[in-house]
Structure 1
Amino acid sequence: MQKIEPIISDRFYHIYNRGINGENLFAGEDNYFHFLRLYDKFIHPIADTYAWVLMPNHFHLLVRIKEEKEFDFTNPDRASNSIGAPNLTGFQNLSGLKPPFQHFSNLFNAYTKAFNKRHARHGALFERPFKRKLITDKDYLRQAVMYIHNNPIHHGFCDHPLGYPWSSYAACVSVKPTRLHRKEVLEWFDDRANFIAMHRRSIDREKIEQWLKI
């Protein structure tokens, strides 16, 4: 049985999960947008986001859990600096300090409730517990970013990361304001040009998936 990583402040995690029994998590554009709205509400206050992708039946996130003193429950005017998706409303205030894993559970529970109501279904939507992998090595941070952004290519949705709308790749190469930690991501690749060039290279998916135990 795979060990379940605890979620600790000031640590990087690759967080990922899929629909229960392989079911789709997203049936249309409105589902993707709603998940990202809830992500802004529940996760942005307690975690910094470095990369993400939403696939029809699974997702990947690369985050750093904030220290408690960094938790931010203020409400921004607009979400023009969201994590990369357009036209999101600002996240709402949350009350109380809950452990970080609880915020992720609240996200998945809130999304499941809305998805079930929208699509007239019942029961669990996500596999439990949600998967997470602690990352302590800079090389694996780079590998995780490329793995996440190239996921749509691997699954045949596009030929280039820019061809898939539900990931952070476009926000990384854009100059538009974003709450995604783009500056740090580009620094891991030295600069924007190298970030783009390295995303064109093949990555050892088997090695990464073995490490993640996907």
Structure 2
Amino acid sequence: MFQALEHGKYYHIYNRGINSTTLFNEKENYEHFLRLFETHINPIAETFAWCLMKNHFHFLVRIKELSEKNTEKSILPSQSFSNLFNAYTKAYNKRYNRHGALFERPFKRKQINYNPYLQNVIAYIHNNPVHHKICNHPIEYSWSSYLSCLSEKPTKIKRKEVIEIFNDLDNFKNTHLQKGNYFEIENWIQT
């Protein structure tokens, strides 16, 4: 049984295609998923990091606190994620003339409680393409929030807060250069 997503808490949200099915075949797939993420998730969560891979994805989010005026009408955070996955599956199935589930169920989530874990999970998410040997550095991969953290362009990512988690931009960059123990992080995430 998976834990409910609690307001005010940080979570690493991740999932993959059912039976390792490809989730993103082309640029439009990535873009559409991110648009749906904005529609379904931005109202209920703040995003600190994300990475979309061919057959899986990772997000680090903080579920927003309930405001007093929205307590009765609010959707459960886990329902918002389910709505995202259902909307994307419907569009993907229509586009590729397929049917059935696209994502594994239930989606995975790991609560992150401490600042060092926040740093490790952000670096882990951004370095996922490096870990999977798609590129040599996260700056080379388009479908993650790494570039948004470096940029000064407007973004929905909580860039200022992310950089503060690392103390400053130089430490953010240096931490991402270090070879992390990805197996240790993956084992911790799975527990």
Interval of TM-score (by shorter of Structure 1 and Structure 2): over 0.9
User: Runs (4+) of structure 1 moved beyond 4 Å?
Assistant: none
SS at match of 1:68: coil
2:149–2:163: 8 Å Cα contact kept in structure 1? yes
Q: Percent identity?
A: 55
Is the 1:46–1:70 Cα contact (8 Å) retained in structure 2? no
TM-score, normalised on structure 2?
0.96
Q: Secondary structure at the match of 2:133?
A: coil
What is the CA–CA distance in structure 2 between the aligned matches of 1:143 and 1:207, rounded to whole Å?
11
Which residue of structure 2 lines up, in the alignment, with residue 13 of structure 1? 11
Deviation, 1:212, is: 1.1
Report the aligned-residue RMSD: 1.5
Number of residue pairs aligned between Structure 1 and Structure 2: 189
CA distance in 2, matches of 1:203, 1:139: 13
Deviation at 1:213, TM superposition (A): 1.4
- After TM superposition, the structure 1 = structure 2 runs for residues 33-182 of structure 1, keeping only pairs within 5 Å, are 33-69=31-67, 96-182=73-159
Q: Deviations over 1:82-127 (max 9, x none)?
A: xxxxxxxxxxxxxx42111000000000000000000011100000
State the Cα deviation string for residues 162-200 of structure 1 (Å, max 9, x = none): 111000000001111112101111011110011001100
Cα 1:71–1:111, aligned 2, differ >3 Å: closer, same or farther? farther
The question of whether the paired residues in 2 share the 8 Å contact of 1:45 and 1:71 is answered with no
Q: Distance in 2 between matches of 1:108 and 1:58?
A: 12
Determine helix, strand or coil for the equivalent of 2:127. helix
Corresponding position of 1:83:
none
Question: Does structure 2 conserve the Cα–Cα contact (< 8 Å) formed by 1:46 and 1:71?
Answer: no
CA shift digits 1:128-180 (9 cap, x unpaired):
00000001011100000000000001111111111110000000011111121
Which AA in structure 1 matches 2:188? Answer: W
| Paired letter, 1:101 | S
Structure 1 gaps, min length 5: 73-95
**Contact 2:131-2:182 at 8 Å conserved across structures:** no
Contact kept in structure 1, 2:7 and 2:66, CA below 8 Å: yes
- Name the structure 2 match of 1:210: 187
Q: Does 1:199 find its partner at 2:176?
A: yes
Distance 1:70 1:142 in 2: 31
Find the partner of 1:23 among 17, 21, 24.
Answer: 21
Q: Can you give the 5+ residue segments of structure 2 that lack an aligned partner in the other structure?
A: none
